[in-house]
Structure 1
Amino acid sequence: MTRTKAVAWAGGVSYLLVVGLLVGGAPRASGTVHGVGALLAVSLLAGVVRRMPLSALAMALFGSTAVVVGPPSPGPVSLTASYQGQFLSYLAVDLVLGFIVATCVRRASIVAVAVSFAVQFLVIGVFTHGDGLAVNEVIALLAMAASCMAGQLSRERREHAVVLRSQEVAEAVTAERLRIARELHDMVAHSIGIIAIQAGVGGRVIQTQPAEAREALRAIEATSRETLSGLRRTLVSLRQADRGVTVSERSPLAPSPGLADVERLAAATAGAGVCVDLCFSGEQRLVPADIDLSVYRIVQEALTNVVRHAGIGRCRVAIGYGDEELSVEIVDDGRGATGKGSAQGFGIIGMRERVGLLGGRLSAGPRPEGGFRVTARLPLPAPVAVPMEAR
């Protein structure tokens, strides 16, 4: 940091030395040569501009004004060369001014523009005579306006990029919160529903049928352990992500559930009093992890709704493996949707979000013949053809 500051100030001192040489060491040069020299010399202020832009503007104003009001060249000098020298000298100031408008706060930018405007117009008005006065004033005004416009456009583009980035971050945070909410709802709602039913069964038969009460308690214990494991996996993942732990540094976690766990889910639902007729069709094969988890969560949420709202002891789950899509259907013959049923909660909303993120289609609603049906169709990616090795 100290070296950078020293280099910046060395550039500023070098700029002042070059301006001194232009003013005192090259008196025979024309105004155009002085203006070009002042314009090129401003590059020495690059370090000062980045660290102290207002100081750089003061140096540039001082140097350009010194070049304009310096001792006149001996001999006849054309008015065109004199005007060109003034324009080129203050063009260096306009470059610094554009950088200030683009990077500094608005109050500092307004002060810098006002000071630069006053100095340029005062010097040009004093050292320009005749018909060239109006022309030089207009040219200086246009050059200053162009530099300020360029700086303002650069500022707005940068601010717009910051806003877009903030929106992307906010959308990513919202999407992650929704994903966590879906996971927690699907996992906890199903488990709590089964626990509530098993606890009710155990409470009713604990005096008359202790064996069944023990089975209900075992089911409660198993479901609770499974739920705690899922919650622990989610919380550990969130904490590691919050601390910025890389994937390779994370502790190994239990795998997420998928199609292979649907049979275990059906067995747990049967323990809650709802028998599940589970059938698969098509050629069973591995599917992408996001589809695998989503199918499990859809079946889990639908079975939770059957247990809690259908008021029936049996339902059917059909999973079909097609060439281009995976279909899931959960059907029951119960009461269907009620005012306090599943259609009014977050379960179906979460299922729609999951299916929508995967580009699929979901339909959920009461059947004409009674009961409720949930149907999801998820597109499967095309299998990748592996070329045979040349023999």
Structure 2
Amino acid sequence: MTTARAKLFPRIEPWLLDASLTVVLTVTGVVALFVYTDPSGIEYADADALGVALVLVITVPLIVRRRLPVAVGLWTAVATLPFLAVDYAVPTAALVLLIAVYSAANYASLSASVLVLAVQVTSSVAYTLVSADRHGEQTMDTGAGVIISGLLILGVWGIGRAVRSRRLYTAELEDRARRLERANDVEVRAAIAEERSRIARELHDVVAHHVSVMTVQAAGARRALHRDVDRTADALEAIEEIGRSALAEMRRVVGVLRTPDGDDRGAQPATLAPQPGLGDLDTLAEQMRDAGLPVDVTIDGEPGPVPVGVDLAAFRVIQEALTNTIKHAGPSTAAVHVRYLPSEVHVEICDDGHGVAAALEGRRPGHGLLGMRERVALYGGTLAAGPRRGGGYEVRAKIPYDSNGAMSR
């Protein structure tokens, strides 16, 4: 709605608006000085150069009404005093004074705007009394004229103060929103950096496992070198395959650590034990059942030569999604569907809960979801998460891999 209003009513620069208002009132005031005729038959002084000068003196200062609201308010009040001596017809003068009062109320402090209000009311009362004495044929009672002019000026001043309060409140809300957005950005960057560091450590463990296997295979090949050539060839082929897989994982580790947000402070020591993978889903599902979340696991296709890093990323996505279900979905059940394709692994995790997780759409992602996205993006995959139709929450990820020379568990 705000965008539609912005398109329908484009924002005008304040200085351009003030300049246009000043020009219009100045031209109107000068023209009225020469052609205005009072409906009640009051005779005004003939227009001359002094009258034109007075119109300019009282009107032109409006161009700086935002920057110098108090000065403009006081000046316009003082500039009406010559009209007490020379009775020129300037019907725009009242509008100029009201704009000056409004500007002082809107852009000046309370005490300064009250000063302008008092001076303007005094000037208006003086002009009304002198005009009533000069033009006895006026139909309006003098007292009524004084009250009406005073109430009109006071009302405009009140509108200006209300607009000022609204403007300051809106500015405070916008500033608070900007500060919250900056704080949110810092928090998200910290969460991403922490997750990247954890991913790098886990990939380091994967590479360490590969290297340990290569060491064992190399030792076996050395012992069988002169006794069994075929066995030695098989061992060397396995070393080559594992080495390629380890090199690919090492490149990913370097890619994570080279990111600007990468931070290895607080890293835990690496271990030589392999990280979990999709082959450990039954154990994970059992752990979730013990925690009170019934989990149904479905696997389609035959596990091919899935790289260990992809296997680990898919497992972590499932683990994080089920953990979120336990935390946020309330009493529910979950289903995990894994589908193996020749060059992709698809995982889908859904629940039928109606807790916080089912109402996350449109809100900023938590750290768990950020971690899942980082893991999937590391291998060029995609991840989608959001509420399901009919209730519940679902997470779907597609992780591609190169099956040529990949090392599976």
TM-score normalized by the length of structure 1: 0.46
TM-score (norm 2): 0.44
Larger relative helix fraction:
1
